[in-house]
Amino acid sequence: MDADTGRGQPTGGAPLSDIGGPDATVRATARALAKVDSAVALVLVEGILDEIALRAVATARGRDLDAERIVIVPIGGAHAIGRFLTSLGPLATRVRLAGLCDLREAELFRRAVAAHVGSDLTGTDMERLGFHVCDRDLEDELIRALGPEEVQALFDAEGDLGLFRQFQSQPAWRGRQIEAQIYRFLRSSGSRNLRYTRLLAEAAVRQGRPPRPLDALLTAV
């Protein structure tokens, strides 16, 4: 990822400049694991962006997850969910477990959680247990929650609308659907994606339409 130029402290006091880089999830996981012994709930997510978004929505709703002893644990990708649940050992039976993943990873999460509880699970069962799925992925949920006009207004407020207009004029993206342009613009820079994940999540709560899976997960814990 690029060196971040964003603002804010979206991950339990860690500034954005401290959560970029190839080992970002490793560092975030280590921070989370240092808190698990006193946790009342563990929220298992694929990576840093999920943690940023969940914390932003929680804070915008007036919640302090650290004070509530709710620990968000980036596990380093959906493929790690089974191994991570096993590594928790007896702790997994003492705390509330919840989670968030992308649509393409939902089956990995479902199989791992089913093995953990010793029973086959449907998607409805998973939601009842506190595990929720982003339709496509997190960025898509955030863009859809706000809508393209509000996202562009946020780009304007942050001084990035000109950059977005330049991106739109590139031959590969000219004339493409606006949602697809926004999605690719966000993901074209690691630092930009980090910063706007928080900003979009906060704006969605202000507009009264936080992404459903994030809102449902936080309600569950």
Residue 175 in this model has a pLDDT that exceeds 70: yes
Q: Is residue 7 part of a domain?
A: no
Residue 32, CB-side half-sphere exposure with 13 Å CA sphere: 27
Q: Is residue 185 part of a domain?
A: yes
Q: Is residue 11 part of a domain?
A: no
Q: Is residue 102 part of a domain?
A: yes
- Percentage of the chain beyond pLDDT 90 is 75
Q: Is residue 2 part of a domain?
A: no
Residue 17 in this model has a pLDDT that exceeds 50: no
**At residue 29, what is the residue type?**
T
Residue 198 in this model has a pLDDT that exceeds 70: yes
Residue 56, domain extent: 16-220
Residue 1 in this model has a pLDDT that exceeds 70: no
Using CA atoms, how far residue 193 sits from 66, 187, 188, 189, 205, in Å, is: 24, 6, 8, 6, 18
Structural domain count, the chain: 1
With left for phi above 0 and alpha for psi between -120 and 50, is residue 168 left, alpha or beta?
alpha
Q: Is residue 6 part of a domain?
A: no
- In angstroms, rounded to a whole number, what is the distance separating the alpha carbons of residues 86 and 84? 5
∠ CA(45), CA(48), CA(53), 5° rounding?
80
Grade residue 7 by pLDDT with cuts at 50, 70 and 90.
Answer: very low
User: What average pLDDT does this structure show over 114-140?
Assistant: 94
Residue 36 in this model has a pLDDT that exceeds 90: no
pLDDT recorded at residue 19: 53
Q: Is residue 78 part of a domain?
A: yes
Grade residue 212 by pLDDT with cuts at 50, 70 and 90.
Answer: very high
Q: Is residue 115 part of a domain?
A: yes
Q: Would you state the structure tokens that stand for residue 32, as one six-digit string?
A: 């989370």
With left for phi above 0 and alpha for psi between -120 and 50, is residue 25 left, alpha or beta?
alpha
Residue 150 in this model has a pLDDT that exceeds 60: yes
Grade residue 88 by pLDDT with cuts at 50, 70 and 90.
Answer: confident
